[in-house]
C-alpha cells in the first residue's frame, strides 16, 4: 500500500460574520495516499470546498481562518507554514483546479506567458525550455494547435479549452497532489468525459494523488479509489468506492445514492433526501443529520455519534452502528 501523502486531522475552520465567528469545519479527518484518487462528496454546504481551500490556505479576501487541527502534507505541517513557504508549494507540489477556469487564469495575460511563468518559477527552467514544456503540456491535454494557443488570451478559448489549459497549468510541475473542485460540473457531458479521462491519464503518468471534490456520484464511481462523505462540516462516512456503492452505511450516504437518477427513472420518482443541510449558525444538537433522518433515535437528538470502523476499510459516524436501543423518532 502506498504511503500517506496528506493527512487532515481534526481540522476546524471558521469565518467571521457580523462580528461572530461561524464554525464551518468541525473537526474534519481523512487522509490520501500517494497516487490515490479520493472523492470528497456531499451536498452544497457540507464543507467540501472549504476543506480544499483550508488545505491550500486560499482565504484571500475572506475572513476564513484555521482554528484548530493539523494538515500534514509530505511530512510538512501546512498550518505552520508562512505564506511565502506555502506559495512555494502551491503550483508545484500542491495544485488546484476549479470549476471556473477564470479563477486561476489571468484574463489579460496570454496563455503562453501564464504557463511559462509557472514553469520557470517552480521548475527553474530557462525561457526556451519553459516554452517547450508549456507546448508539450498543452498537447498532452489534447489541445491540437498548442503553439498558436500560446499567443492567445483566455477569452478567445471555449470553456472546455480553458479547462484543459487550467489542467495543463496545474499539472505542468508534476504535483504530488492535485485538488480538483467540481472540475467538470460546468462542462457538457462529452467534454466532461474527456477531461476526466485526461486527469486519469496525467495521474497515472506522474503518480499524482487527486482530491476530487464533487457532488456527482457518477464522477466518483468513474474516478475514485476511496470516498469520504461530508455532512454539515464533518466526515460521516469513509469507504472504498466499491464498498460505498455496494453497501453504504450512513443514512445520509444511502440518501445521496438513492437520489442519483437511474436509467428510465423520471425526476419525480427520485428518492431525494428531504430537508436541507443545517445552517452553520444554527446547528442542531446531537447528530447533525437527525432532523432529516428517518432512522433517528432519541440518542441521536442529544449526542453526536463518533466515527467507528464498520468494515476492514470503512468507517461511519452513526448511532445505528453503536446503540442497540432503537427508539425511533420519525415513522
Ligand atoms: Fe440517523 Fe441517528 Fe445515524 Fe444520525 S446517528 S444518521 S440521526 S440514525
Q: Which residues line ligand 1 (CB under 6 A)?
A: 250-251, 287, 289-290, 293, 295-297, 300, 305, 318-320
Rounded (to 5) percent helix, strand, coil in the chain: 35, 25, 40
Q: Could you tell me the pLDDT band of residue 37, with boundaries at 50, 70 and 90? A: very high
Report the pLDDT value the prediction gives residue 331, as an integer from 0 to 100.
42
Whether the pLDDT of residue 156 is over 60: the answer is yes
Closest ligand 1 atom to the C-alpha of 297? 2
In the reported structure, the alpha carbon of residue 87 is separated from the centroid of ligand 1 by a whole-number distance in angstroms of 41
Q: How far is CA 275 from CA 8, 203, 278, in A?
A: 29, 38, 9
Q: Could you tell me the pLDDT band of residue 327, with boundaries at 50, 70 and 90? A: very low
Cell of 240: 472504498
> Among 185-199, 226-240, 313-327, which range has the highest average pLDDT?
226-240
- Average pLDDT on 26-38 reads 96
In the reported structure, the alpha carbon of residue 296 is separated from the centroid of ligand 1 by a whole-number distance in angstroms of 5
Report the pLDDT value the prediction gives residue 112, as an integer from 0 to 100.
96
Best residue among 278, 288, 296 to mutate for probing ligand 1's pocket (most ligand atoms within 8 Å of CB) is: 296
Whether the pLDDT of residue 13 is over 90: the answer is yes
Report the pLDDT value the prediction gives residue 326, as an integer from 0 to 100.
43
Q: Nearest residue CA, atom 3 of ligand 1? A: 318
Report the pLDDT value the prediction gives residue 314, as an integer from 0 to 100.
94
Give the least confident one: 296-300, 308-312, 323-327.
323-327
Q: How far apart are CA 24 and CA 27, in angstroms?
A: 9
In the reported structure, the alpha carbon of residue 251 is separated from the centroid of ligand 1 by a whole-number distance in angstroms of 7
Contact between 234 and 277 under an 8 Å Cβ cutoff? The reply is no
Query: Which residue(s) pair with 314 in the sheet?
Result: 311
Its pTM stands at 0.89
Query: Which of 294, 211, 310, 307 minimizes the C-alpha distance to 252?
Result: 294
Q: How far apart are CA 138 and CA 201, in angstroms?
A: 14
Closest ligand 1 atom to the C-alpha of 319? 5
In the reported structure, the alpha carbon of residue 291 is separated from the centroid of ligand 1 by a whole-number distance in angstroms of 9
Whether the pLDDT of residue 270 is over 80: the answer is no
Mean residue pLDDT across the chain: 88
- Average pLDDT on 50-76 reads 90
- Average pLDDT on 115-136 reads 94
- Average pLDDT on 52-64 reads 86
Closest ligand 1 atom to the C-alpha of 236? 6
Cβ contacts of 222-227, under 8 Å, gap ≥ 24 = 222/196, 223/37, 223/39, 223/196, 223/199, 224/37, 224/38, 224/39, 225/36, 225/37, 225/38, 226/36, 226/37, 226/38, 226/39, 226/313, 227/38, 227/39, 227/40, 227/41
Closest ligand 1 atom to the C-alpha of 305? 5
In the reported structure, the alpha carbon of residue 282 is separated from the centroid of ligand 1 by a whole-number distance in angstroms of 18
What is the helix (H) or strand (E) element at residue 301, kind and residue range? Answer: helix 298-302
Best residue among 273, 274, 318 to mutate for probing ligand 1's pocket (most ligand atoms within 8 Å of CB) is: 318
Report the pLDDT value the prediction gives residue 316, as an integer from 0 to 100.
96
Cell of 150: 500560446
Q: Could you tell me the pLDDT band of residue 201, with boundaries at 50, 70 and 90? A: confident
Closest ligand 1 atom to the C-alpha of 301? 7
Q: Nearest residue CA, atom 5 of ligand 1? A: 318
Whether the pLDDT of residue 66 is over 90: the answer is yes
> What are the phi and psi torsion angles at 156 (to 5°)?
-80, -5
Q: Could you tell me the pLDDT band of residue 303, with boundaries at 50, 70 and 90? A: very high
In the reported structure, the alpha carbon of residue 78 is separated from the centroid of ligand 1 by a whole-number distance in angstroms of 33
In the reported structure, the alpha carbon of residue 240 is separated from the centroid of ligand 1 by a whole-number distance in angstroms of 21
Amino acid at each position: 500500500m502506498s504511503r500517506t501523502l496528506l493527512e487532515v486531522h481534526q481540522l476546524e475552520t471558521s469565518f467571521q460574520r457580523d462580528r461572530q465567528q461561524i464554525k464551518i469545519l468541525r473537526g474534519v479527518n481523512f487522509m490520501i495516499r500517494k497516487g490515490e484518487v479520493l472523492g470528497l462528496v456531499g451536498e452544497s454546504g457540507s464543507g467540501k470546498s472549504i476543506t480544499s481551500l483550508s488545505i491550500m490556505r486560499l482565504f484571500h479576501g475572506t475572513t476564513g481562518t484555521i482554528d484548530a487541527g493539523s494538515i500534514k502534507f509530505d511530512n510538512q505541517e501546512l498550518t505552520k507554514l508562512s505564506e511565502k513557504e506555502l506559495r512555494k508549494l502551491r503550483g508545484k507540489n500542491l495544485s488546484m483546479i476549479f470549476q471556473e477556469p477564470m479563477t486561476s487564469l489571468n484574463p489579460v495575460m496570454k496563455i503562453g506567458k501564464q504557463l511559462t511563468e509557472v514553469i520557470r518559477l517552480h521548475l527553474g527552467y530557462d525561457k526556451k525550455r519553459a516554452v517547450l514544456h508549456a507546448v508539450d503540456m498543452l498537447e498532452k491535454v489534447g489541445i491540437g494547435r498548442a503553439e498558436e494557443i500560446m499567443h492567445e488570451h483566455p477569452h478567445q478559448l471555449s470553456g472546455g479549452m480553458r479547462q484543459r489549459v487550467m489542467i495543463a497549468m496545474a499539472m505542468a510541475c508534476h504535483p504530488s497532489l492535485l485538488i480538483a473542485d467540481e472540475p467538470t460540473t460546468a462542462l457538457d457531458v462529452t467534454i466532461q468525459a474527456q477531461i476526466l479521462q485526461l486527469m486519469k491519464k496525467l495521474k497515472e503518468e506522474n503518480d499524482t494523488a487527486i482530491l476530487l471534490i464533487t457532488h456527482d456520484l457518477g464522477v466518483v464511481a468513474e474516478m475514485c479509489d476511496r470516498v469520504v462523505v461530508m455532512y454539515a462540516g464533518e466526515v460521516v462516512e469513509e469507504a472504498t468506492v466499491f464498498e460505498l456503492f455496494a453497501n453504504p452505511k450512513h443514512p445520509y450516504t444511502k440518501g445521496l445514492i438513492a437520489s442519483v437518477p437511474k436509467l428510465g427513472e423520471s425526476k419525480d420518482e427520485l428518492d431525494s433526501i428531504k430537508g436541507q443541510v443545517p445552517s452553520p449558525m444554527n446547528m442542531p444538537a446531537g447528530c447533525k443529520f437527525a432532523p432529516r433522518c428517518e432512522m433517528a433515535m432519541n440518542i441521536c437528538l442529544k449526542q453526536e455519534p463518533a466515527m467507528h470502523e464498520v468494515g476492514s476499510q470503512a468507517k461511519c459516524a452513526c448511532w445505528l452502528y453503536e446503540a442497540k436501543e432503537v427508539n425511533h423518532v420519525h415513522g
